[in-house]
Amino acid sequence: MAEPLLAIENLRTYFHTTAGVARAVDGLSLAVAPGETVGIVGESGCGKSVTALSILRLIAPPGRIESGSHIRFEGRDLLALDDRGMRAIRGNRIAMVFQEPMTALNPVFTVGDQVAEVARIHAGASRAAAWTQAVAMLDRVGIPAPDERAHEYPHQLSGGMRQRVMIAMALMMKPALLIADEPTTALDVTIQAQILELLAELQTQYGMSVLLITHDFGVVAETASRVVVMYGGEAVEQAPVSALFAHPHHPYTRGLLAAMPRLGAGRDRLQTIPGTVPAPTDWPAGCRFRDRCASAWDRCEREHPPLYELSAVQVSRCHLAAEPGRRAAGDAAPAHRVTA
Amino acid sequence: MTTPTRTAAAPLLEVRDLTKHFPRRRALFGPPPTPVRAVDGVSFVIMPGETLGLVGESGCGKTTTGRAILRLVEPTSGSVRFDGHDVLALRGADLRRLRRHMQIVFQDPFSSLNPRMTIGAIVREGLTIHRLAEGDAADRRVKQLLDEVGLRPEYASRYPHEFSGGQRQRVGIARALSVEPSFIVCDEPVSALDVSVQAQVINLLADLRRDRGLAYLFIAHDLAVVEHIADRVAVMYLGHIVELATSRDLYREPLMPYTQALLSAVPVPDPTASRERIILQGDVPSPANPPHGCVFHPRCQHPARDMACTRLVPPLEEKAPGHFVACIKQTPTTVSWAQQQDVGATHPPERYLPVAALHTTSRRPTPP
Amino acid sequence: MSADRAGRAARAWGRVPPGARIAAGVIALFVLGALLAPWLTRYEPWQQLDIVRLQSRPPSWAHPFGTDRYSRDVLTRILFGARVSLSIATLAVLVSSTVGTLYGALAGYAGGAVDAVMMRVIDAMLSVPRVLMLIAVLALWSPVPVTALVLLIGLTGWFDVARLVRGQALALRQREFVVAARSLGASPGAIVWRHIIPNVLSPVIVAGALAVGNVIILEAGLSFLGIGVHEPMASWGTMFQDATVQFVSTWWAVIFPGIAIVATVLAFNALGDALRDVLDPRQLPGHPALDPQEPAHG
């Protein structure tokens, strides 16, 4: 790919707690091209949210981005920037939308004020100019009667509206990269559909890249062009979205796809992934997924798998790439395949 | 309004016209505010061993319905009969005795367990209250229950914060089972869990149902989960049941425009599927101020929607065997064209079933 | 699983900041001193030694804290005084915490009119200034046996605890595990006992630690005024009373009890603050990266 907009290399974010060192992100590398939507999928404890916070350097002690990590954005090394430099990036070139709009918005300021504040901080706009831009932005994100709504407080708006306000705030400065951390998880499914459609529209209009973090494969299938599956603080599989769904390689990816109940799939017993996610203070040696993997054998305990290249575009952190014959019969193929 | 019933065998739970209005505080001046009509005339029946799914989005009243049935929230009006007993008429110790048979599993695995009690004590509480077992016998029973839900018996002396969300949910299930109920209200039991853990808990609930002959009222907003586990499904919107059918019929042929929109909004994990979507405009209206007539009419996309929809409250009628829908514009309907015209109808009812709402046509699960 | 508990306790101790550990140490020191008083000193607290030669003597090897104007050894009186002051304070706080917790839990769980009435009763009682009322009662009734003193102090000090607990109980009522207990068929009494009270104890313990400091001062004040603990029982407050007459010339008789009071009260305050930090975070679901057992939402 041409020069990527965002290039993360060997990101390691560790939390040094009294209970031990939690290796929340342990060697993640990924790249986002301009205009691309990359989905990061994983469950709790896989490190996806910490990754997002690390990009914006919002990690507070006892968390720390360890040396050896590199994050390059628009050609610059984000980890080398000082506070001022970083503040110029946040909300301006890289913006973030969070999962819970109620907690991310300040309850004592009107939504108009909060959106306008972005322009005041980054563009030095006057109050009046900023307010006008804010109202225009609220309109752009689909809030009806925006000039009236701008005077309302967050608690007066519904969840979907609040999320739209957050998106408005994020897009005020037309950032090159939008990081959306589970932006629709807290929303009803019909509202989720609206928000995803809005994001797609805005992305095309502004030509921005989106890093979408979610646990929902359905959302990923509809919005992302490339997918990174995370487990145990690492990427375990990366592929373009069609390749991932057509032939998922890593047993965790396959397990997740098989465990999802799908509409129209009947009522057979769901495939499950036995066991639970290990603690980030205690990643198992070798492959971190081996305790839960039907295909694991001794190599998996001895040797931490690298990212094997399955093709020019798909990688998988699994020794099955080297020894495909070892794949267990019980390793579920996804139950859902398009015949057309 | 015809209440959906099943013939043969007596129903385990019969709910008729259940209503719950939450009063709002009056401001110092001005007219008294309208109450929040969380549940507004809900009726359904659950047979022994049956699972009824209750789906809807936030504010539709499904959680309130579940709690009102158990009288964890006092209904404003209506009737609830459980195994022949009038639940709403019971008081004090009688009500507590009945509580044995109707249990609940909560959504949030973090707040539904007392952080100061060991999980053994949590599971044991029911046994103590209803004097089902004491001392060593109680200990054994607790260990059996923990085992049944897939937890190691040694965990009994540990505290909730030492466990993950999925494990805590299992504790909640064990607690509900401890008193040997015949009916459990599952209030979004897997919504707060990760996908892989969700699958484990859903399988567990299905197994328990099979082994113990339990009936469930399965409340959820995730349609795929509900389709998976429920025999029949009721769709709620703003306090009303707008569609009620078997799981299969609902997903193959949703007749209520709201259900259609709901189904089409679910993201499909298949990037090659071209999905048309029915995108509903605007937000759900406030339950304190529901629209007149059909509560869904402001957002409805049915081609025959017109003035009549704002005037007439659609009855929940049987449009196909066992399939009940509340829509005067979806054929067949007992609300005659003449009646509709009387209130200003301009579009006659028609059958509307958009492709965007269907998930089962072009998909065939391939065997692993 | 006592190994488990020990592990947890050790980790909790690890979270205590060094200042608070010093506080705990100071308190332990005084408690030990109080308990072992008879073995640590050669004299009795009321024992008047040589009236002629040992009256108001400054600190020396024989009497590290000097003697007071009744030629009693100050160090001995401080140690025995610790017994009196600490036990009165802890018992009184125990009384007020217990009464306040029960009252507040019942009011908070009952809610509605019952709660309103119970709270108004507290409001009424609070309108009477505690210290003045104690002074009035004790002065009229003096000399007062120590048990009565403890009860009086305790029974006039439970209102804040009750308010605190009632607020917590109101919030707890809505928590799902309380709803779960109702759904199991638990009676209101059982719910208050098993679910409400154990979950309000943390703030009560914290408030209690701070209150002990307050009561020590209160008792010292009352004893200083002559209406608290009576001669010849030594309490830090009565030592003040004796010594202030000749404060300038016998500074040791005032300073040392003063230091004892200040040190103990500061230590209890620090302990209270530390307890607040140690007890509370356990309830909160942790940050997913820090507390790996808690999956984040979703």
Q: What is the predicted ipTM?
A: 0.81
Domain boundaries, position C73:
17-283
Helix C2-15 / helix C251-279 crossing angle, nearest 10 deg: 120
Write out pLDDT tens, residues C27-47: 888 888 888 878 877 777 777
Residues A116, A119, A120, A124: what is their CA dihedral angle, to the nearest 10 degrees? -160
Q: Tell me the shortest Cα–Cα distance from C112 to chain B, in angstroms.
A: 15
C11 and A215: CB-CB below 8 Å?
Answer: no
Give residue C3's pLDDT.
Answer: 60
Q: How many domains does chain C have?
A: 1
Which amino acid appears at position A169 of this protein?
M
B267: tokens are 């993201």
CA-nearest residue to C7 within chain A is: A19
Residue C16 pLDDT more than 70? no
CA distances from B87 to A247, B215, C249 (A): 54, 17, 82
Q: Would you say residue C65 lies in a domain? A: yes
Would an 8 Å CB–CB cutoff place C288 in contact with chain A? yes
Contact yes or no for C185 and B114 at CB 8 A:
no
Encode chain A (340 residues) as per-residue pLDDT tens digits: 568 899 999 999 999 988 889 999 999 999 999 999 999 999 888 889 899 999 999 988 889 999 899 999 998 899 989 988 898 888 889 999 988 777 788 889 999 999 999 889 888 889 999 999 999 999 988 888 898 889 999 988 888 888 999 999 999 898 999 999 988 887 888 888 888 888 888 888 888 999 999 988 989 998 899 999 999 999 999 999 999 999 999 999 999 998 888 887 777 788 888 888 888 888 898 999 998 998 888 999 999 999 999 999 999 999 998 888 888 876 655 544 433 3
In a mutational test of the C interface, the residue from A15, A46, A185 whose CB has the highest number of chain C CBs within 10 Å is A15
Tell me, yes or no, whether C169 lies in a domain. Answer: yes
Is residue C53 one of the residues assigned to a domain?
A: yes
DSSP, res A90:
B
Give the three-state DSSP class for B219: strand
Residues B33 and C18: their CA atoms lie apart, in Å, by 56
Residues on chain A touching B165 (C-beta within 8 angstroms): 44
Could you tell me if A30 and A43 are in contact, meaning their C-beta atoms sit under 8 angstroms apart? Answer: no
- Residue C145 φ/ψ region, left for φ over 0, alpha for ψ in the -120 to 50 degree band, beta for the rest: beta
CA-CA distance, B269 to A37, in Å (whole number)?
Answer: 16
Which residues does chain A have within 8 Å of residue C293's beta carbon, measured at their own beta carbons?
279
Tokens read off for C219: 């008792």
* B220 and B226 Cβ atoms separated by less than 8 Å: yes
From the list B57, B247, B364, the residue facing A190 with the nearest CB is: B57
Distance of residue A200 Cα from the nearest chain B Cα, in angstroms? 14
| Chain C interface includes A63 (CB < 8 A) | yes
Token duo for residue A154: 């967050």
> Contact B366/A337, CB-based, under 8 Å?
yes
Beta carbons of A2 and A23 less than 8 angstroms apart: no
Give the least confident one: A222-236, C123-137, C177-191, C225-239.
Answer: C225-239
The pLDDT value recorded for residue C111 is 84
**What is the pLDDT at residue B361?**
39
Place of tokens 């917590």: C168
Residue-level pLDDT at B59: 81
Are the CB atoms for C105 and C88 separated by under 8 Å?
A: no
Name the neighbours of C, counting chains with at least 3 Cβ pairs within 8 A.
A, B
- Which range, A151-160, B170-179, C51-60, C231-240, has the best average confidence (pLDDT)? B170-179
Amino acid at the residue A43: E
- Nearest CA distance, A37 vs chain C (angstrom): 21
Residue B28 structure tokens? 């110092």
Other beta carbons within 10 Å of C247: 12
Let me know if residue C87 belongs to a domain.
yes
Q: Is residue C191 part of a domain?
A: yes
Q: Rounded to whole angstroms, how far apart are CA atoms B191 and B214?
A: 21
Write the pLDDT tens digit of every residue in B209-258. 999 999 999 999 888 899 889 999 999 999 999 999 999 899 889 999 99
User: What is the pLDDT at residue A6?
Assistant: 93
Q: What's the pLDDT at A333?
A: 54
DSSP, collapsed to helix, strand or coil, labels residue B54 as: strand
Any idea what the CATH number is for the domain that residue C77 is in? 1.10.3720.10
Is the separation of the CB atoms in C39 and C79 below 8 Å? no
Q: pLDDT category, C254, cuts 50, 70, 90?
A: confident
**Preferred mutation among C175, C177, C197 to probe B, highest tally of B CBs within 10 A:** C177
Q: Determine, for residues B129 and C1 on separate chains, whether the beta-carbon distance falls below 8 Å.
A: no
Q: Write out the H or E segment, with its range, that includes residue C5.
A: helix C2-15
C99 or A103: whose pLDDT is higher? Answer: C99
What is the C-alpha separation between A273 and C83, in angstroms, rounded?
Answer: 62
**What span, in angstroms and rounded, lies between the C-alpha atoms of B36 and B17?**
17
Strands (E), C52-196: none
- C282 to B161: CB separation less than 8 angstroms, yes or no: yes
8 Å CB contact of C184 and B175: yes
The pLDDT assigned to B31 comes to 78
Residue C298 belongs to a domain: no
Q: Which residues of B are less than 8 Å from C112 in CB distance?
A: none
Q: Does B135 or C296 have the greater pLDDT score?
A: B135
Query: Is C174 a domain residue?
Result: yes
Residue C67 is given by DSSP the state B
Residues lower than pLDDT 50 in chain B: 1-6, 360-368
**For a pLDDT cut of 90, what percent of chain C falls above it?**
23
Where helices occur in chain B by DSSP H, the ranges are 62-69, 92-99, 119-129, 135-148, 165-177, 195-212, 223-229, 247-252, 257-265, 307-311, 337-342
pLDDT given for residue C7 in this prediction: 65
Q: Is residue C54 part of a domain?
A: yes
CB contact under 8 A, C184 and B165: no
Cβ B53 vs Cβ B229: under 8 Å: yes
Q: What is the pLDDT of residue C295?
A: 32
Per-residue CA distances from C280 to A183, C12, C200, C275 (Å): 30, 11, 11, 8
Tokens of B262: 């709901």
The strand pairing partners of B82, in sequence order, are B13, B85
Chain centre to alpha carbon of residue B135: 37
Task: Report pLDDT for C83.
Answer: 86
